[in-house]
Structure 1
Amino acid sequence: MKLATHRSGRALAIAALAATTGLVIAGCSSADPGSSSSDESFTIGIVEQQLANPFFANLQQSAVAAAEEAGLDVMTAESQSAGDSATQVAAIENMIAQGVKGIVLDPANASALVDIVQRARDAGILVVTVNTSLEPADAADASFETDNLAGGALMGEWAKASLGDAEPQVAMLDYDLSDKTAGARHDGFLEGFGLTDDSPEIVGTALTESNVETGQTAMENLLSAHPDINAIYTINEPAAQGAYIAISNAGKEDQVLVTSIDGSCAGVRSVQDGEIGATVMQFPSRMGELAVEAIIDFVETGEKPSGVIDSGTTLITDDPVEGVESEDSAWGLENCWGE
């Protein structure tokens, strides 16, 4: 286990326990964290998903930075793989034992963490989720996340307006629609375009694994069956990048509009290069900052946040259309996340 070098005296004491639990401790104050006074430090916990994913890494980095800027001590932990709730449960158990005042949680499993979150809340700890909420959402005090329905709607509105008078021939490159995020993005795109799953304008659908390889394969199959496709929805930017490879190989770069969502720097560069027509940027750093601010407010005032709080979305395109607010790829590259 790695321990951060900027730790308070109390964080050093916690480190002995953390060595057996995979926790990382950081901080910059030696004040007694048991006090809720605004000029004294306290400890918060940040529990993320696997940090090899740049989205999760950016979210945690922003939360840690916001906490340290406020003079707080921080305990961090990450899941080891997709869906790894066991590591997160163990981390929260240790955070409860160490008396953290609040926990920022990006749940690896929406239902498996409900019981441990309730234990934390019963101990007087504010628990806010980021990126995705628990099931039910009110199992945590609040959630700071992307409104994926609204993000999908931006994609659909732009695609419809960009097609103009052309008859829509739309393909959907999805991920498992039982996934809350995937379902919301899919439904939002259809809503924004003015379609339903049964609309004849939807000429083909395919499931991907949200990566380049399956995006390319899915698009190759769709183009083979439906060569007149002129607009596609993709679950995320890697799937869109794979789809574009298939489109380019088929010589249909000028025929097919590609839409996506995420706002990674790689995705924005694909917009700049003309591979993706438009992508919707989400803001993991804002999620982390808002979550930490909510915990600080709770400790200082006793006021709790509630509900699902939208961390914002922005459409990125170099081909703007009337009636759909957007920013260009230059702006996107200044505000994107990842590499």
Structure 2
Amino acid sequence: MNRVARLMAIGVAAAVAVAGCSKPDSSAAGSAASAAPADKKLSIGFFGFAKANSFAQATWAGIQEYANANNAEATFLDSNFDGPTQVNQLQDAVTSKRYDVVIVQANDGTAMVNPVKQAIAAGITVVVEFTPVGGKYDTADPQVPGTINIIDPPTVNGDGLAKLGIDACKSAGAATGCKVAYLQGFANYPLDTARTKAAADALKAGGAAEVISNFVGGYTPDTGRAAMQNLLQAHPDVNVVIGSSQALEGATPLASGKKITFVGNGGSTQAYGFVNDGTWYGVYSVPEKKSGAKAAELGLAKARGQSVPESTVVCTTLTSFDCLGTKASLQGQTADYSD
């Protein structure tokens, strides 16, 4: 999830593979309105979270790499985490017909429904990447007919973070009476709201004695440091802290000398380092560069008349460890972006 999000892991085969956990193509997703000639250079518009965001930069690196190797050019349209700006950008792109393929990393999945429908109606191939477009945050299934979806459902992300959090409690010898703090990303941000609720509910169901989820950690070391200061004042006996990897980079030094362990969300090189040296218990690591490349692969393939899967779940398709990164499961793995 600057460095994910407003601060929210190479290569991909040239042939389009339909993985076992990807939904088969429907007539809407499987055929382009008008297939582009095989030798035509195509244009991709990437509507990402923010250019300054390291997670979106990983997506962008994957998109660029695949586009450059497959007769396409790509452009990053920077909404800087602003939902209305992103809506306007996509509507303008539909009007200008500048792009053959658009890859949407939605800041507000509900608000992007209408412009995505407009793009589909205009014959533009639309790939929904990472965040669902629509009002449901627990599925990778298409919520707008005709879209290609390569998604990490926020509720699945929250459940995964909770599993790592409960395991961190056990690892720290606090399986009973474990107090867990979940630092929200953005307050009232649809993706974060769904993820926070899923994580808090799963932590309680998993046996956490107390779950604290009213602190906003954001997606930068500075906001994470501030949240950790407030958390420690109110709950000095906290055992496990979960939050965006960027936020935890700022929070971790404040735990020096305390029996606190951490679970990060976002598989940067820094996060991998903290896990590998034992400072953090684990990290939810989405292979975001690979996901960006796959989004470009599927979008270009459909625009050129090939059939593609309409739904792909990132963590069960593009990783060997379901995104649940611990010191053991990260052995041999390499992060594909840095904060």
Give the TM-score normalised by the residue count of structure 2.
0.72
Amino acid at match of 1:229: V
Residues 104/225 of structure 1: CA separation in 2 closer, same or farther (3 Å cut): closer
| Map of 2:233 onto structure 1 | 224
Gaps of 5+ in 2: 1-33, 136-141, 316-321
Contact (CA 8 Å) 2:200, 2:213: kept in 1 or not? no
| Map of 2:75 onto structure 1 | 76
Q: Distance in 2 between matches of 1:55 and 1:192?
A: 25
| Map of 2:297 onto structure 1 | 293
Q: Distance in 2 between matches of 1:80 and 1:162?
A: 36
Higher relative contact order (CA 8 A, sep 6+): 2
1:95-147 deviation line (CA, Å, top 9, x unaligned)? 65346432212234434443332222112222112132223462361332323
Q: Distance in 2 between matches of 1:161 and 1:90?
A: 42
How far residue 63 of structure 1 moved from its aligned partner, in angstroms, is 1.0
| Map of 2:57 onto structure 1 | 57
Asked whether 1:247 is paired with 2:246, we answer no
How far residue 302 of structure 1 moved from its aligned partner, in angstroms, is 5.3
Asked whether 1:115 is paired with 2:114, we answer yes
How far residue 220 of structure 1 moved from its aligned partner, in angstroms, is 2.8
| Structural mapping, 1:1-339, within 5 Å | 36-72=36-72, 74-83=73-82, 85-86=84-85, 89-90=88-89, 93-94=92-93, 97-98=96-97, 100-136=99-135, 138-139=143-144, 141-164=147-170, 166=174, 167=176, 168-176=178-186, 178-190=188-200, 192-195=202-205, 200-202=209-211, 205-234=214-243, 236-248=244-256, 251-252=257-258, 255-301=259-305, 303=307, 305-307=309-311, 309-312=312-315, 313-318=322-327, 320=328, 326-328=329-331, 331-332=332-333, 334-338=334-338
How far residue 304 of structure 1 moved from its aligned partner, in angstroms, is 5.6
How far residue 298 of structure 1 moved from its aligned partner, in angstroms, is 1.7
Q: Distance in 1 between matches of 2:122 and 2:94?
A: 11
Q: How many residues align?
A: 289
Residues 287/174 of structure 1: CA separation in 2 closer, same or farther (3 Å cut): same
Residues 336/65 of structure 1: CA separation in 2 closer, same or farther (3 Å cut): closer
Gaps of 5+ in 1: 1-33, 321-325
Residues 189/213 of structure 1: CA separation in 2 closer, same or farther (3 Å cut): same
Contact (CA 8 Å) 1:247, 1:256: kept in 2 or not? yes
Amino acid at match of 2:292: G
How far residue 293 of structure 1 moved from its aligned partner, in angstroms, is 2.0
How far residue 256 of structure 1 moved from its aligned partner, in angstroms, is 1.2
Residues 152/115 of structure 1: CA separation in 2 closer, same or farther (3 Å cut): closer
Identity %: 19
How far residue 65 of structure 1 moved from its aligned partner, in angstroms, is 1.8
How far residue 200 of structure 1 moved from its aligned partner, in angstroms, is 4.4
Amino acid at match of 2:247: A
Q: Distance in 2 between matches of 1:264 and 1:239?
A: 12
1:194-228 deviation line (CA, Å, top 9, x unaligned)? 5389x742267422333323322332333333332
Q: Secondary structure at the match of 1:214?
A: helix
How far residue 170 of structure 1 moved from its aligned partner, in angstroms, is 1.8
Amino acid at match of 1:267: A
Q: Secondary structure at the match of 2:280?
A: coil
How far residue 229 of structure 1 moved from its aligned partner, in angstroms, is 1.7
Q: Distance in 2 between matches of 1:261 and 1:337?
A: 13
